[in-house]
């Protein structure tokens, strides 16, 4: 009983009044969600605890966060299965489930397909794993090399008209591929890499999104933990099966420069009695070009800590200070 009361109090303490709309759809959600690549994503992270992953999903929903972002590629469907188990204990109509598909795995080999028949199969398979009869957002996870992108989106539009999906998304698409996909103005949202240390989208992608009323959801918003301040300029080494082992942000002079910029956020964080990670998330929430931010988490504690970013209202001066501190990074 004490635990239930605590969770309800947490929910009241977070500012969930603000919602955002996904593109031209009728999907609305909190501007902060949960990225679930560490929930069942055994192919991405070593030694994951599935019970802790499901507890993280529950913590998000109990905190009032409504957006769960998953994909077939996260554990080859395992993330979706674990989320499906959790969803049975919640009001499905109050949860925004976003998933992605494009991968065909056969005999240990992965190929990418955007072919209409494959997209239909991907959606059907995700529905089964998630134990739901509709998806709020379905993203084409990666572009293939052969399918006309407007044809792929037309397939999703048909599924949308059937009520199987509510919003159409693409992910990892270049600007040119997005323009092809959006030929008939049917794309609602794109999910691409963007963070304070990966800012290329500001120059080429964001102006087009504004003109077409397409929402933007960044992945890796905390740069795999680098923007949380936890590394404190200490050299890092990761196992070969950890994706950070190949990330140039974690080595050399760039690693040092990023950590110095992160350390510079401490006074702003102190102004709000917040952590650096919460302050960075608050910057994305205030950013007019970011619709929703989806930090990942492996534990319930990380989720509830991230949720506190919804209570932080950066001043324009603070927002610009953070913006300028990371301008040198591409």
Given this model, what pLDDT does residue 12 score?
A: 36
Q: Average of pLDDT values for 271-288?
A: 98
Decide if pLDDT at 7 tops 80: no
Over residues 30-52, the pLDDT tens digits come to 999 999 999 999 999 889 999 99
Q: Encoding tokens for residue 148?
A: 């006309």
Q: Picking from 88-97, 122-131, 228-237, which range would have the lowest pLDDT averaged per residue?
A: 228-237
Report domain extents, the chain: 29-325
Beta strands 189-193 and 215-219, pairing class: parallel
Given this model, what pLDDT does residue 253 score?
A: 82
Given this model, what pLDDT does residue 8 score?
A: 33
Rounded distance, CA 44 to CA 74, Å? Answer: 7
Could you tell me what percent of the chain has a pLDDT over 70? 90
Token look-up 């591409």 returns 330
Given this model, what pLDDT does residue 46 score?
A: 86
Could you tell me what percent of the chain has a pLDDT over 90? 82
DSSP structure class, residue 111: E
Rounded distance, CA 299 to CA 54, Å? Answer: 9
**Closest to 110 in 3D by CA, of 146, 73, 152:** 73
Over residues 216-253, the pLDDT tens digits come to 999 999 998 899 988 876 666 666 666 665 677 776 78
- Classified as helix, coil or strand, 7 is helix
Given this model, what pLDDT does residue 49 score?
A: 96
Q: Average of pLDDT values for 246-270?
A: 87
Given this model, what pLDDT does residue 155 score?
A: 98
Q: Average of pLDDT values for 278-301?
A: 97
Q: Which fold has domain 29-325?
A: TIM Barrel (3.20.20)
**Residue 261: which H helix or E strand, with range?**
helix 252-263
Phi-psi region of 275 (alpha: psi -120 to 50; beta: other; left: phi over 0): beta
Decide if pLDDT at 209 tops 80: yes
Over residues 159-175, the pLDDT tens digits come to 999 999 999 999 999 99
Is 74 an active-site residue? yes
Decide if pLDDT at 77 tops 60: yes
Q: What is the mean pLDDT of the chain?
A: 92
Given this model, what pLDDT does residue 148 score?
A: 98
Q: Encoding tokens for residue 159?
A: 């599924």
Given this model, what pLDDT does residue 6 score?
A: 35
> Considering 74, 139, 194, 284, which one is annotated as catalytic?
74
Choice between 253 and 149, residue whose per-residue pLDDT is larger = 149
In sequence order, what DSSP letters do the residues of 53-94 get, joined into one string? Answer: HHHHHHHHHHTT--EEE--TTTTTTHHHHHHHHHHTTS-GGG
Using pLDDT thresholds of 50, 70 and 90, give the confidence band for residue 93.
very high
């Amino acid at each position: 009983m004490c635990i239930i009361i605590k969770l309800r109090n947490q929910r009241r303490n977070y500012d969930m009044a603000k919602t955002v709309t996904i593109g031209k759809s009728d999907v609305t959600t909190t501007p902060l969600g949960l990225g679930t690549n560490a929930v069942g994503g055994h192919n991405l992270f070593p030694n994951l605890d599935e019970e802790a992953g499901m507890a993280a999903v529950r913590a998000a929903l109990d905190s009032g966060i409504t957006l769960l972002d998953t994909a077939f590629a996260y554990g080859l469907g395992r993330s979706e299965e674990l989320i499906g188990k959790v969803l049975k204990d919640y009001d499905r109509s109050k949860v925004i489930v976003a998933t992605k598909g494009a991968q065909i795995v056969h005999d240990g080999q992965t190929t990418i397909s955007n072919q209409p028949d494959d997209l239909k199969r991907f959606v059907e398979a995700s529905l089964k794993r998630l134990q739901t009869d509709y998806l709020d957002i379905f993203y084409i996870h990666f572009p293939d090399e052969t399918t006309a992108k407007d044809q792929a989106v037309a397939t999703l539009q048909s599924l949308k008209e059937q009520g199987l999906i509510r919003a159409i998304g693409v992910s990892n698409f270049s600007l040119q591929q997005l323009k092809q996909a959006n030929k008939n103005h049917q794309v609602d949202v794109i999910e691409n890499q963007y963070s304070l240390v990966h800012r290329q989208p500001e120059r080429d992608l964001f102006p087009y999104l504004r003109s077409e009323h397409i929402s933007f959801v960044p992945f890796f918003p905390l740069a795999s933990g680098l923007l949380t301040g936890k590394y404190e300029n200490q050299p890092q080494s990761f196992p070969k099966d950890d994706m950070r082992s190949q990330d140039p942000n974690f080595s050399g002079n760039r690693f040092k420069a990023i950590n110095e910029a992160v350390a510079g956020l401490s006074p702003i964080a102190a102004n709000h009695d917040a952590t650096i990670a919460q302050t960075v998330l608050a910057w994305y929430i205030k950013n007019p070009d970011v619709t929703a931010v989806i930090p990942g988490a492996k534990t319930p504690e990380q989720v509830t800590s991230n949720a506190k970013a919804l209570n932080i209202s950066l001043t324009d001066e603070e927002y610009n200070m953070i913006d300028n501190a990371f301008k040198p990074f591409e």
